[in-house]
C-alpha cells in the first residue's frame, strides 16, 4: 500500500529532517521494509499495511516531540523507536558535556538511578544486557567527578577473558595483547574528553586503564574505580578487587550475567558478590533491562530472541 502522511504546519521541517536529512535517513534505516519519500510537509510511504502503519506511528511520535521541544536528535529518535520516553538535551539528567559540547545524558530510568546512587553510595553494581549504557554512564560519572575535582584519578579495569579467546593466542607484546580488551573503555573516554586532554591524563596517570590482574596489592583511594565485564571474574578476583577500595574512593562494577565467558564449572564472581553484598549498607545494585538499551533498536530484539530461546 501507499500512504501520504501530512505533517503539521507547526513543525520546523529543518529541525525535524535534520542536517542533510539525517533524521529521515535514520528512520529509513530503522524501517528497511518501507520506501519513503519526504518533501516539505508531505511524507510518502509505501510497503505492507503493517510496516506502513508502524512507520507512521513512529513518525507522528517524532513529530509531536519535535513540535513540543523544538529539537530532534538521533538519540531522541532512538528512544522513540525503542519505545522509551525521549530526553531533552537540556534536561536535568545531563551528566556532563563531552567532546564538541555533546551532552552526555542519563537517558533511561535505571541510568538516572545509577547517577543518583553514585552520590550516596561508595560501591555500585550496574548489571544488565549489552547496550543498556552501564559502562558508558559509569565512565561519564567518573569523568564528571574528575572534572569537578571530587577525585584525583580514574581507574578503569576489565578481566582479560573474552568470548573464548586467550591472550597467548593474540599477536604482539603484553600491551598489544591487552588493548583489544580495553578498547571499549578508550572509546567511551574519547567521547567525553578531547584527545589532547585524554592523552595528558593518561601520561600523568590521572586516568589509568589496566587489566584486573594489575589491581592486586594496590589501595585505590581518591579515585573512581570501574570494573567492567565483571561477570568474567572469579570469586577470588572480584573479592581482591573490591577490597582495594581506599579512603575517598568510589567503585562501580558493571557486567552482564547472561554473557559469562568463564568455564561452566567456575562461578561468576559478579553473581557471588551481588548475592553477598546487595544488602550491605553503602552498596547499591542497579539492574538494567531491555528498556535501558540505547544502541540500535535491533539489539533489543536480538536479546529478546535469545532470552525466549533459553
Residues 173-199: pLDDT tens digits? Answer: 444 545 666 788 888 999 899 888 899
Distance CA 145, CA 29 (A): 37
pLDDT at 295: 65
pLDDT at 264: 87
- Whether the pLDDT of residue 31 is over 90: the answer is no
Q: Give buried/exposed letters for 128-142 (b at 16+ CB in 10 A, else e).
A: bbebbbbbbbbbbbb
Average pLDDT over residues 58-70: 84
Of these ranges, 87-91, 196-200, 214-218, the one predicted with the greatest mean pLDDT is 196-200
Look at 4-8, 168-172, 300-304 and tell me which has the smallest mean pLDDT.
168-172
Whole-model pTM?
Answer: 0.67
Confidence of residue 8 (pLDDT cuts 50, 70, 90): confident
For residue 106, what are the contacts with CB-CB under 8 A and spacing of at least 6? Answer: 87, 93, 95, 112, 114, 115, 137
Residues 129-159: pLDDT tens digits? Answer: 988 999 999 999 999 999 889 999 999 998 8
The size of the chain, in residues, is: 310
Amino acid at each position: 500500500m501507499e500512504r501520504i502522511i501530512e505533517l503539521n504546519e507547526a513543525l520546523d521541517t529543518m529541525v525535524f529532517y535534520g542536517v542533510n536529512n539525517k533524521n529521515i535517513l535514520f528512520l529509513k534505516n530503522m524501517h528497511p521494509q518501507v520506501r519513503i519519500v519526504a518533501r516539505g510537509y508531505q511524507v510518502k510511504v509505501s510497503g505492507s499495511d503493517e510496516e506502513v502503519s508502524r512507520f507512521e506511528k513512529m513518525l507522528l511520535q517524532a513529530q509531536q516531540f519535535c513540535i513540543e521541544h523544538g529539537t530532534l536528535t538521533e538519540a531522541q529518535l532512538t528512544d522513540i523507536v525503542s519505545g522509551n520516553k525521549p530526553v531533552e538535551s537540556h534536561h536535568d539528567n545531563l551528566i556532563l558535556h563531552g567532546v564538541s559540547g555533546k551532552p552526555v545524558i542519563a537517558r533511561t530510568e535505571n541510568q538516572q538511578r545509577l547517577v543518583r546512587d553514585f552520590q550516596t553510595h561508595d560501591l555500585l553494581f550496574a548489571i544488565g544486557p549489552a547496550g543498556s549504557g552501564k559502562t558508558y554512564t559509569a565512565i561519564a560519572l567518573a569523568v564528571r567527578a574528575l572534572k569537578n575535582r571530587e577525585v584525583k584519578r580514574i581507574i578503569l579495569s576489565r578481566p582479560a577473558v573474552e568470548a573464548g579467546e586467550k591472550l597467548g593466542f593474540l599477536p604482539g607484546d603484553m600491551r598489544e595483547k591487552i588493548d583489544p580488551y580495553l578498547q571499549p573503555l578508550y572509546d567511551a573516554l574519547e567521547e567525553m574528553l578531547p584527545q589532547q586532554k585524554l592523552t595528558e591524563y593518561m601520561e600523568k596517570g590521572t586516568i589509568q586503564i589496566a587489566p584486573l590482574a594489575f589491581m592486586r596489592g594496590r589501595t585505590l583511594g581518591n579515585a573512581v574505580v570501574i570494573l567492567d565485564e565483571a561477570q568474567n571474574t572469579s570469586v577470588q578476583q572480584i573479592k581482591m578487587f573490591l577490597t582495594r577500595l581506599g579512603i575517598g574512593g568510589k567503585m562501580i562494577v558493571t557486567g552482564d550475567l547472561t554473557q559469562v565467558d568463564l568455564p561452566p564449572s567456575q562461578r561468576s564472581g559478579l553473581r557471588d558478590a551481588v548475592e553477598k553484598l546487595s544488602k550491605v549498607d553503602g552498596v547499591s545494585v542497579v539492574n538494567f533491562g531491555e528498556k535501558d538499551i540505547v544502541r540500535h533498536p535491533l539489539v533489543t530484539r536480538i536479546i529478546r530472541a535469545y532470552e525466549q530461546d533459553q
